[in-house]
Amino acid sequence: MALMTGEQYEESLRKLNLQVYMFGEKVENVVDNPILRPSMNSVKMTYELAQQPEYEDLMTTTSAITGNKINRFNTIHMSTEDLVKKVKMQRLLGQKTASCFQRCVGMDAFNAEYSTTYETDKKYGTEYHKRFKEFMRFVEENDYTVDGAMTDPKGDRGLPPSKQADPDLYLRVVERREDGVVVRGAKCHQTGMTNSHEVLVMPTQAMKPEDKDYAISFAVPTDTEGIIIIVGRQSCDTRKLEENADMDLGNREFGGMEALVVFDDVFVPNERIFLNGETEFAGMLVERFAGYHRQSYGGCKVGVGDVLIGAAALIAEYNGVPRVSHIKDKLIEMTHLNETLYSCGIACSSEGYPTESGNYIIDLLLANVCKQNVTRFPYEIVRLAEDIAGGLMVTAPSEQDLRDEKVGKYVEKYLKGVKSVSTENRLRILRLIENLSLGTAAVGYRTESMHGAGSPQAQRIMISRQGNLEHKKELAKTIANIKE
């Protein structure tokens, strides 16, 4: 099964025996749970678009491992064209879902693992690259969704993993067996874990020799014994449980989900281990993954931004002010910022280059510049959208009030905008802007723009490393005719 349909994907999730908890209760059916279902729908769209001929070029590609047709989310990038199409695919999915579609982390982890395992094997004579290629063959042939897991709880940020008061605050090996290892710890902010078949775990930072037990990378099924998923809260999440609240959701069909994932003495067989104590390669894996994932934000956030810009333009029309000069100027600024992010994503992809293993990596400097802009521009785009929308975005009555026999007529009368647009449609677009700015989608747009793929300071450190100041100083000396 090289390509699953959306329905096949949904049914495949029903076969998993996930241990999921939310609001203090075990969730027995994650697929049909009203709070989690929209996040599943977003991932499902990655399967549905791959079946449509008009999106085939972006959504599918030829596997570098098997030569078969596969979903692009499961590919190893073998050219700059692959890197560019990745960004274009992500923008498309952002436009279609206006939310996080959750497969990017796994895709970025695949490509970081591919080159890092190759270089680890080259130094140590290990078999990590061979194991990883077999894992990728398995993922491609089954068209699985894989959750990439990097961020540890970290505890005291001033201490390395091995010096923590509680050693489990970074995921670590607690037992080594002849046939594998046992790991304990947790991974935070796990995007799409309830919608994934496998989880690919990576270390969270560069390691020193004394942190050997923490330099571990592996993959296991998401329903492996000992894996516990605790779903995170999102603003306005319980609106999905309310009756007659379709309008209040803003984005009723799609959404994202995040979780704290606990690994409570989970066994990992040898064939699924891709790094095991080679501390000097932990930093390489982290850096390459971060670069790929920072590239991703030049696609996915731009697609969601397209929807938000469209919503802002619509509410301007519904309010009767589409031709007011300052409104037009704000929409121009939103578009300028959004396309700047896209330009960064395309640029770091176009400037990509091959690693020793043969797969392509992005230009790391430009990828970090891309993500640094993402930590700022979506906030300004949201601010401008809220400015255009007006205060009603956060003070509008509920859909139940609009439908109420007694007060509904007042809501209908006094919240009317232009004559040609119904009050309901005006409220619906306001709720969409609220959802993207403050609600559940804000997790995958505004707030995640700050901390996803690393904090702003992490990107600034990489920009400093990659900026090549010495070369720039030499250029200046040459122009100024300075001789030393």
Q: Which residues are catalytic?
A: 100, 104, 191, 258, 293, 297, 300, 448
d(CA 5, CA 11): 10
Distance separating alpha carbons of residues 471 and 455, to the nearest angstrom: 27
* Residue among 288, 256, 294 nearest 374 (CA): 294
Whether 203 contacts 275, CB under 8 Å: yes
SS (H, E, C) the chain: CCCCCHHHHHHHHHCCCCCEEECCEEECCCCCCCCCHHHHHHHHHHHHHHCCHHHHHHHEEECCCCCCEEEHHHCCCCCHHHHHHHHHHHHHHHHHHCCCCCCHHHHHHHHHHHHHHHHHHHHHCCCHHHHHHHHHHHHHHHCCCEEEECCCCCCCCCCCHHHCCCHHHCCEEEEEECCEEEEEEEECCCCCHHHCCEEEECCCCCCCHHHHHHCEEEEEECCCCCEEEEECCCCCHHHHHCCCCCHHHCCCCCCCCCEEEEEEEEEEEHHHEEEECCHHHHHHHHHHHHHHHHHHHHHHHHHHHHHHHHHHHHHHHHHCCCCCHHHHHHHHHHHHHHHHHHHHHHHHHHCCEECCCCCEECCHHHHHHHHHHHCCHHHHHHHHHHHHHCCHHHHCCCHHHHHCCCCHHHHHHHCCCCCCCCHHHHHHHHHHHHHHHCCHHHHCCHHHHHHCCCCHHHHHHHHHHHCCHHHHHHHHHHHHCCCC
Q: Which residue, 37, 40, 108, is CA-closest to 300? A: 108
Phi first, then psi: give them for residue 70, nearest 5 degrees.
Answer: -135, 165
For 460, other C-beta atoms within 10 Å of its C-beta total 13
Whether 478 has a binding-site annotation, put simply, is no
The greatest distance separating any two alpha carbons of the chain, rounded to the nearest whole angstrom, comes to 86
Do 193 and 221 contact (CB within 8 A), yes or no?
no
Residue whose C-alpha is closest to residue 240's, from 393, 65, 74, 431: 431
* Residues tagged in the binding site annotation: 191
* Residues tagged in the binding site annotation for FAD: 191
